[in-house]
């Protein structure tokens, strides 16, 4: 049987991002992340677990690894996060923010 290769996801090169906490001291505690696709001029606002997943993509990893790490971060089961994480990755990929 042919072995299926799990693709590695990584941030696209042509992206830039700013944490709200980078903007000034008064934003301490905010979890917002502003993300830009430098080719399409499209901007995104990520909140809650979005920035956590973006941070985890600081190096290439498979969807399985990512789901495991998200589950560990939020102390829940992998099954709980599987659907949302895959959907989130797919959304970012469609808009050119991540590639694999």
Partner 1 sequence: MLRTIFLHTAMNTASLLEKHIWGTMPEKLPDEVSVPLPARIRLSHAYFQNLANANDIDLLHVKGYAFGTEVYAPNRNSTDVDLLVRPAHVARFLYLLKKDGWRSLTTFESGSIFEHAATLYHPSWGLTDVHRYFPGINFYDQAGAFEKLWEKRRLKQIAHFDCYVPQLVDCRNIVVVHGARSTGHGLHSDVLHLQRTLTDAQWQEMRERIREFNSEIAFDAALGDIEKHRGNRQYLFWKSAAEPTPLPLQWLGRLQRAEGLKQKLHVLTNIAEINDDHLAMTLGHEPTHQEKRHLFFERFERILRWKNK
Residues near partner 1 (CB under 8 A): 14, 16-18, 20, 22-25, 34, 36, 38-39, 41-50, 52-53, 74-76, 80-81, 83-84, 87-88, 91, 95
Distance CA 90, CA 94 (A): 6
- Work out how close the CB of 86 gets to partner 1 at its nearest, in angstroms, rounded to a whole number: 10
Distance CA 99, CA 85 (A): 15
Helix, strand or coil, per DSSP, at residue 42: strand
Q: Which is nearer to partner 1, 53 or 66 (CB)?
A: 53
- Work out how close the CB of 4 gets to partner 1 at its nearest, in angstroms, rounded to a whole number: 25
Q: Are 56 and 70 in contact (CB under 8 A)?
A: yes
- Work out how close the CB of 1 gets to partner 1 at its nearest, in angstroms, rounded to a whole number: 33
Q: For the chain, how far is it from start to end, CA to CA, in angstroms?
A: 24
- Work out how close the CB of 69 gets to partner 1 at its nearest, in angstroms, rounded to a whole number: 14
Residue that is written with structure tokens 């696709």 in the block: 37
Q: Which is nearer to partner 1, 2 or 58 (CB)?
A: 58
């Amino acid at each position: 049987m042919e072995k299926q290769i799990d693709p590695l996801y990584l941030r696209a090169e042509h992206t830039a991002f700013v944490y709200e906490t980078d903007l000034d001291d008064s934003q301490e505690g905010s979890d917002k992340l502003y993300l830009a696709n430098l080719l399409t001029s499209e901007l995104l606002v990520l909140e809650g677990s979005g920035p956590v997943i973006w941070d985890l993509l600081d190096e290439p990893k498979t969807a399985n690894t990512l789901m495991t790490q998200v589950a560990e971060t939020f102390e829940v089961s992998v099954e709980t996060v599987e659907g949302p994480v895959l959907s989130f990755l797919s959304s970012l990929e469609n808009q050119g923010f991540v590639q694999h």
